[in-house]
Structure 1
Amino acid sequence: MDFDLNWILLGLPIAFGLGWLASRLDLRQVRQDSRRAPKAYFKGLNYLLNEQQDQAIDAFIEAVQNDPDTTELHFALGNLFRRRGEYNRAVRVHEHLLARGDLSRADRERAQHALALDFLKAGLLDRAEDALRRLEGTPFEAQARMALLAIYERSRDWPHASDIARRMQAAQQGDFGTRQAHYLCEQALTCTARGELEAAQTLLHKAVEAAPQAARARIELARLHQRMGDAGAAWHVLHELAEAAPAALPLAAALLVEVASASGQLDAAHALLVQRYQDMPALDLLDAIVALESAGTNGTQARNWYVRHLEHEPSLVAATRWLAGEELAQQQFHPQVQRALEHASRPLTRYRCAACGFEARQHFWQCPGCQSWDSYPARRVEEL
């Protein structure tokens, strides 16, 4: 059978035309897809700028569906879910990213960090800890360690917190000596509660070595010596405190009076308190001086210290305490006046966090409100 070449000549233009038509159809589809995805993406950005997060999420979901390979859209969507408190959806987005085999190393580390943030915000601390530990050796290492430190502090896992702080200091991510001392003090308090006094003493000595200028370790050590019946050692520690951290002495003024009475150092304690009071007047130092003088002399003369304080500082607290020991001419009104003054001065005797403003009747080394360390000054609200 003879083959007719005319059919070939006729088929070539037809095949060319069909190929051209197919390419045009594919190109049109690509153009439509490429136009659709950016349109949804920019729509989502517009909603974000207008703080319309619900509409922004819908727009980003549409963009992700049109272009499922775009990682940036997934990150934007996951961050939006986290900001709205939809942590389960944020976790699913970031876990989907991590499950992709074509993800670059940088994007994988970024997704791991985002997943850790999801768990942190959701309060899933055990899963957050595992996710954060996977960030060792990545550009997010420093942030991960800070987050781990916050987790261990929140859960009061002081040994692990101490380990993270050591690594951060070794990596020159800050000076954590004072915080290390706090961790050792916390462990010492646990040992003291269990009756393990010698172990607590060892930990407190390490805390003093870790932060020689910090006040807490010496105050806790003096209390421990007093509990162990060694008033002389307690006096020695408090004397060191007055030299190393004089601004913190008001926190230990009442303890100093007890230790001085037990160790026979009343005169030395009085001289020390008067000297520190002259350098930096404080209500707690004033009360300690009055307590020491009242124990050995006439109480009225001792309370004259409150009057001297009022000559330099207009203190309602000092006036109330002076008035409590005075005999007024109008005795029938004295109790009512005294109660009113005590009620008015009570808020002034609190301590206030310098970081968040949280007020408390007792001094805290770590603020219960914002969890900051050493944010409470050693002075009462009236003195700030």
Structure 2
Amino acid sequence: MAFDPRWLLFVLPVVFILGWLASKLDSRQWKLEEKESPKAYFKGLNLLLNEQQDKAIDAFIEAVQNDPDTSELHFALGSLFRRRGETERAVRVHEHLLRRGDLAQTDRDRAQHELAQDFFKAGLFDRAEAAYAELRGTAFEREARLALLSLYERSRDWAKAAEIAAELEAAGTGSFSGRIAHYLCEQALVAQTQGHGDLALELLGHAQRREPEGARAYVLQGQLLLKAGQAEGAMAAFTKLLTANPPAFNLVAADCAAAAQALGQPERAIALLTEQYQRAPSMHLLRALATLQPGPQRGRLALHLQEQPALSAATELLKLNAAALPADEAAPLIQTLERATKPLLRYRCAACGFEAAHYFWQCPGCLGWDTYPPRHVEEL
């Protein structure tokens, strides 16, 4: 049967009309989407960039109402709620995403991660722990482990913190030897308060092997042994500390002097204190030496001021020479110097600048480990 060309006169107009209708429908749908969802979305972004979070939230809520299937809008909205401290609303947004059956696995993992952050921000650590545990084997596993590490530190669950740190180290995230050593030291302190001195010493030994250059395990070991009346063991620990981490010897200068006096061998501590003083003069070391070598201190303080100018040394020297000054001049001058010196007799975090009268191994401000130099502010 031969092809009749007259059919083309009928088919071609029909195909043209169908194509035109399809393009019109697609154009109409595109204009509708552009009119509704993107307009509110970009409005929210603009408000967010201008730090108008309240108005940005209203804009994102409007965008979600216009296009409830867009997951990115939900993520933006949930993040804003969490940043503003409205964790309950953030939890509802992310739980709604997780209940959706059409959500892609990548977005499901992301929603789970966001939900875990919501619980963490709200202080619901048990729920946050469970939510982070669900992220094992996903692209967020590393972030989840780091968050769990912070969570266990905050809740002072040192055994679990050590376990997570070891997992991160094994996964190639970096070295966590220093942190694990601190966790062992924290467990040793708990054991000590519970009356398990032998267990405390065993944990400190593990900490020393984990981080040979870490100061804390030697400091705690020496102080624990000194308190238990084992002065010889304490001296051995302080001697190891001077080799492993000389700057931290300032923290145990007085303890070292006390251990040597308990043994009746002050010369042992004098040798250690003098060695470190010649390396890095400090008032910690000078005061410890003064307890072992009683006598005139004017010359030592004068020499120290030449090596390491410090208001505390000047104040002590003035007190020794106060008898040579009129009483109505000496007392006000000493009081003024003591008031000026007090803020300088603090330790300052090198990471965030948080100052404290006592030495901290973990900064209370930024929660960083080993961020405090073992010297007072006036000697930095």
The alpha carbon displacement at 1:325 in A equals 3.0
The number of aligned residues is: 362
The alpha carbon displacement at 1:355 in A equals 1.2
Does the Cα contact within 8 Å between 1:235 and 1:263 map onto a contact in 2? no
- Give 2:325's aligned residue: 330
Distance in 1, Cα, partners of 2:189 & 2:66: 59
- Confirm or deny that 1:316 pairs with 2:316: no
1:349-370 deviation digits (Å, cap 9, x = unpaired): 1111111111111111111122
Task: Return closer, same or farther for 1:165/1:65 CA change in 2, 3 Å cut-off.
Answer: same
The alpha carbon displacement at 1:175 in A equals 1.0
Q: 1:347 aligns with which of 343, 350, 357?
A: 343
The residue identity in structure 1 corresponding to 2:33 is S
1:169-194 deviation digits (Å, cap 9, x = unpaired): 11121111111111111111111112
1:145-178 deviation digits (Å, cap 9, x = unpaired): 1111111111111111111111111112111111
The alpha carbon displacement at 1:383 in A equals 0.9
The alpha carbon displacement at 1:330 in A equals 2.7
TM-score w.r.t. structure 2 length? 0.90
Q: 2:372 aligns with which of 373, 376, 380?
A: 376
TM-score w.r.t. structure 1 length? 0.89
Distance in 1, Cα, partners of 2:30 & 2:203: 69
Distance in 2, Cα, partners of 1:248 & 1:79: 43
Identity %: 53
The alpha carbon displacement at 1:88 in A equals 1.2
List alignment gaps of at least 5 residues for structure 2: 1-17
1:218-271 deviation digits (Å, cap 9, x = unpaired): 010011111221111111111111111111111110111101111233112112
After alignment, is 182-191 or 44-53 more displaced? 44-53
Does the Cα contact within 8 Å between 1:98 and 1:112 map onto a contact in 2? yes
The residue identity in structure 2 corresponding to 1:66 is N
The alpha carbon displacement at 1:323 in A equals 2.5
- Give 2:191's aligned residue: 191
What secondary structure sits across from 2:324 in the alignment? Answer: coil
**Counterparts of residues 236-315 of structure 1 (less than 5 Å):** 236-294=236-294, 299-300=295-296, 302-315=297-310
The alpha carbon displacement at 1:28 in A equals 7.5
- Confirm or deny that 1:210 pairs with 2:205: no
The alpha carbon displacement at 1:24 in A equals 9.5
1:315-340 deviation digits (Å, cap 9, x = unpaired): 21111122233352235233333222
1:289-309 deviation digits (Å, cap 9, x = unpaired): 222111xxxx21x44211101
Does the Cα contact within 8 Å between 2:308 and 2:379 map onto a contact in 1? no
List alignment gaps of at least 5 residues for structure 1: 1-18
Distance in 1, Cα, partners of 2:150 & 2:135: 16
Distance in 2, Cα, partners of 1:219 & 1:71: 53
